[in-house]
Amino acid sequence: MKTALNRLSGALVLAASLLSLLAATALAGSANAQESEGIVVYNAQHESLGREWIDVFTKETGIKVTMRQGSDMQFANQIIQEGDASPADVFLTENSPAMSLVDGAGLFAPIEKDTLDQVPEQYRPADGMWTGIAARTTVFAYDKTKLTEDKLPKSMLELQDPAWKGRWGAAPAGADFQAIVAAFLQLKGEDATKAWLKGLKDNATPYKGNSVAMKAVNAGEVEGAIIYHYYWFGDQAKTGENSKNVGLHYFKNQDPGAFVSVSGGGILKSTQHMKEAQTFIKYLTSKAGQAVLKDGDSFEYAVGKDAASNDKLVPLADLNAPKVEASTLDSKKVVELMTAAGLI
Amino acid sequence: MLQDNRLLASGNKTPVASGAGPMVLPRGRMPHASVVLLASIVAIFSLVPLGFIAWVTYDVGWETVKTLVIRPRVGELLVNTVLLESITIPLSIVLAVTLAWLTERTDIPLARLWAWLAIAPLAVPAFVHSYAWVSLLPGMRGLQSGAFVSVLAYYPFLYLPVAAALRRLDPAIEDAAASLGLDPWRVFFRTILPQLRLAICGGSLLIALHLLSEYGLFVMIRFDTFATAIVDQFQSSYNSPASNMLGGVLVGCCLFLLGLEILLRGNERYARVGSGSARPADRRRLGWFVVPAVTLPIILAVLALGVPLITLGRWLYLGGLGIWRIEVVSAFAQTIVLAIAGGVLATVAAAPMAWLSVRAPGRFQRILEACHYYVGSLPGVVVALALISITVRLVLPLYQTFATLLVAYVLLFLPRAMVGLRASIAQAPVELERAAMGLGRTPGQAARQITMRLAAPGAAASVALAALGITNELTATLMLSPNGVDTLATKFWSLTSEIDYVSAAPYAFMMVVLSLPLTLMLYAQSKRTAGQ
């Protein structure tokens, strides 16, 4: 009995070893295949949106895309570390500060002119090293059962007031929020930003991610939260279960809280697949690519010329956003200030 | 190499024939030397993460270290960590010891069933536990909720060794205590509990280390620990000095816990002195107490198994067939491949040290062994950070490859692999190996043909244990995996972070399916080492 058992275990070990060897070779094979065909996209956009774009793109062009999922600043810094050896061909973000960081390191290749022409100037940097592919606006998502119009903050700056202590939330660790802080920094300067971040640390409940913050508002944990608009629309389109008590307040009046953040797409200078990569960015900003934003379930704003956004959204032009130079948003300084404030 | 062995074997024949001391192998140093070399290589690899953090610390300079480490945020995280540990560990101990005593030493009905159910929560990854609770009670968050879910997810780590130890105890000591007039409670606290100390210390250490390195559970339950803060920093600025310094503090916490456990464990050991073997202990009659006694395992099973399974079932039902996309299958396949490859590699890497620590213990070997063990106590985040920075800077071809990911798995799960191997090598009598050499086998052949074969069940358990860990590993996989690789855990994670609980359910379910047989195997192994 015992020896039989031992033999069985021995056989198991042997089988497992063989299997893993086989697997290793198979994996090595697939890794090589990955390098030889198609492009690698570092996707910091929402995975579902990235997937939607890529699926349509591959179907139309036959170009294979391998997607690596991550977050804005993680990828930006990663690409800088990787330098010329970066496996990435294309970089997509949710916000623009990460694009500026990579651009600043001189790692982007210029985007083709036809592509740039598809996007209005205010949604791309003047140097043409990357382009906007979508946009999102900052909102104050609030608990409709607790707050009425007159009690809502007129400006995002009011939230640093002790009167708001314990009443609002945000997702400070995310790239989304760091973009808002970067805009704040550009609009109001370092001292005001420091003061506001201190107010955030003192007053706000930190959440992991915008959707979690919105859920907390819906559940009555906090009266409001600073998030981007489309989390609410996305949830409403599904079951509405996480946003049924939630209303959206648009700050407008060129308040930092009305900041419109541009999602970016760029091509790495080091790419071995320049043509395919250019085709991909061109597709994203084209009618077809932008239609994914209008018709899909991402609810982000389309930024292409003459491209319409989802009908349910407040039109971009009506948001009265502050003028922010997207290409100069200082992400490094933001991380520094936020670390100093004890937020990350 | 082979020639060396043969030469050595012929030189060794005489001492073997004349018989060495009872525990010492034949005098040939060389086979040891090659095993020591192999073990040293593994040990050096395992020092890489620690060395990296030391290097970053040195590199950024004292001033930067001071501003990054001595700040209120780090203080907050330390307080959180201490509170979490000091709530979770005592609760788990009480729960596990009570449950183990009930299932092993009383006449509780269906004892075996309760024993299985006590282990089964291990098959549910910790972050799936919290996913279940958060979707059941969306308001759950913070310290208490974190500790609550941690206890449910991790108490089996204490139950397993405590139950095994209880099974092995010699009832004669208890009889002696009882005959001296102690009532059952005193007998328990004066004779049984002290003998469980090793098991309790070991299990507690394991849980304590898990709490330090757990990421998904606490993110979902919204409780900040060092692991979550490091990932936040990493995602804000990618392997910045700040995340590495937080990693340094975390490593400090791990080393503190390891030291604390050594202190608490002490040097005393317990052994039978009588002749023959101990008889199995009598099971205590519960009488009317059986009602509350049965309630405890039922409640625990409902909380630690019922809730995850019911929530999962609900999401699966709501999602219908539409959520079983092709990606589930590919993630499942990739997870299995990674888990088995990583498990086998970890076991192979652990083998030289496991053999040495049983056959040729010594001071130097103990240091090597400590290197093997400490690295598994490091959180995946820290190991991944180090490997990313090193591959990017020094060996770029290895960057974002399966090789690097597997190295991370080997490092993280080396101790798990050691456990099974060590125990089973220890059970293979050295005399057999010596007899084989007496019959003309080289030491290498003898080790392979005798010891390795006898240790095979232990090796299989080691592979299973490491594979179980890899199946549920999240942070290192997220950070290191090659482009296009999605494991069940990483897919589950990205879907839950978009609060798409429905689509995430199949991945969670498959993780449980994968973990279940491995967990059962673990249980069987714990019985085997207990001599049953």
Concatenating the DSSP letter of every residue in B402-423 gives: HHHHHHHHHHHHHHHHHHHHHH
Confidence of residue B531 (pLDDT cuts 50, 70, 90): very low
Interchain proximity B232–A344, CB inside 8 Å:
yes
Smallest CA-to-CA distance from B519 within B475, B459, B469 is with B469
Highest mean pLDDT among B28-42, B254-268, B338-352: B338-352
Q: DSSP letters along B425-457, please? A: HHHS-HHHHHHHHHTT--HHHHIIIIIIHHTHH
Which of A27, A69, A208 lies nearest to residue B222, judging by beta carbons? A208
Residues of B in contact with A92 (CB under 8 A): none
pLDDT of residue A283: 96
Which of A34, A175, A208 lies nearest to residue B483, judging by beta carbons? A34
State yes or no: pLDDT of B9 exceeds 50: no
Average pLDDT over residues B478-502: 87
Neighbours of A125 (CB within 10 A): 24
Highest mean pLDDT among A111-115, A292-296, B175-179, B273-277: A111-115
pLDDT of residue B236: 77
Q: Which residues in chain A show pLDDT less than 50?
A: 1-6, 8-9, 25, 28-35
State yes or no: pLDDT of B386 exceeds 80: yes
Confidence of residue B24 (pLDDT cuts 50, 70, 90): very low
Smallest CA-to-CA distance from A81 within A107, A44, A43, A42 is with A107
Which of A67, A69, A344 lies nearest to residue B233, judging by beta carbons? A344
pLDDT of residue A278: 96
Confidence of residue B7 (pLDDT cuts 50, 70, 90): very low
Higher pLDDT, B16 or A171: A171
State yes or no: pLDDT of B2 exceeds 80: no
Average pLDDT over residues B36-53: 91
pLDDT of residue A189: 94
Contact by Cβ (8 Å): B42, B372: yes
State yes or no: pLDDT of B458 exceeds 90: no
pLDDT of residue A147: 93
- pLDDT, one tens digit per residue, over B280-308 is 777 888 888 889 999 999 999 999 999 99
Instruction: Please return the burial class of B321, using the count of CB atoms within 10 Å of its CB with bins 0-12, 13-18 and 19+.
Output: exposed
pLDDT of residue B505: 94
pLDDT of residue B18: 37
Neighbours of A159 (CB within 10 A): 22
Residue of B nearest to A210 (CA): B498
Interchain proximity A9–B456, CB inside 8 Å:
yes
pLDDT of residue A332: 86
pLDDT of residue B144: 95
**What's chain A's length in residues?**
344
Q: How close A205 gets to chain B, by Cα (Å)?
A: 10
Q: DSSP letters along A99-119, please? A: HHHHHHTT-EEPPPHHHHTTS
- Whole-complex ipTM: 0.74
Cβ-based neighbours of B114, under 8 Å, separated by 6 or more: B99, B102, B103, B108, B297, B301
End-to-end CA distance of chain A: 58
- Specify the pTM: 0.81
Helices first, then strands: H and E counts in chain B: 27, 0
Contact by Cβ (8 Å): A93, A175: yes
Higher pLDDT, B521 or B345: B345
pLDDT of residue B70: 86
Of B238, B327, B497, which to mutate for an interface test with A (greatest number of A Cβ within 10 Å)?
A: B238
pLDDT of residue B530: 52
Average pLDDT over residues B507-511: 95
Interchain proximity B483–A212, CB inside 8 Å:
no
As a whole number of angstroms, the distance between CA B386 and CA B407 comes to 12
Residues of A in contact with B402 (CB under 8 A): 24, 27-28, 31
Average pLDDT over residues B368-389: 86
- pLDDT, one tens digit per residue, over A215-236 is 899 989 999 999 999 999 988 9
3-state secondary structure of A144: coil
As a whole number of angstroms, the distance between CA B346 and CA B1 comes to 23
Average pLDDT over residues B94-112: 93
Confidence of residue B450 (pLDDT cuts 50, 70, 90): confident
Instruction: Tell me the sheet residues that pair with A227.
Output: A139
Interchain proximity B238–A78, CB inside 8 Å:
yes
Smallest CA-to-CA distance from B339 within B251, B184, B457, B464 is with B464
Interchain proximity A221–B139, CB inside 8 Å:
yes
Interchain proximity B236–A173, CB inside 8 Å:
yes
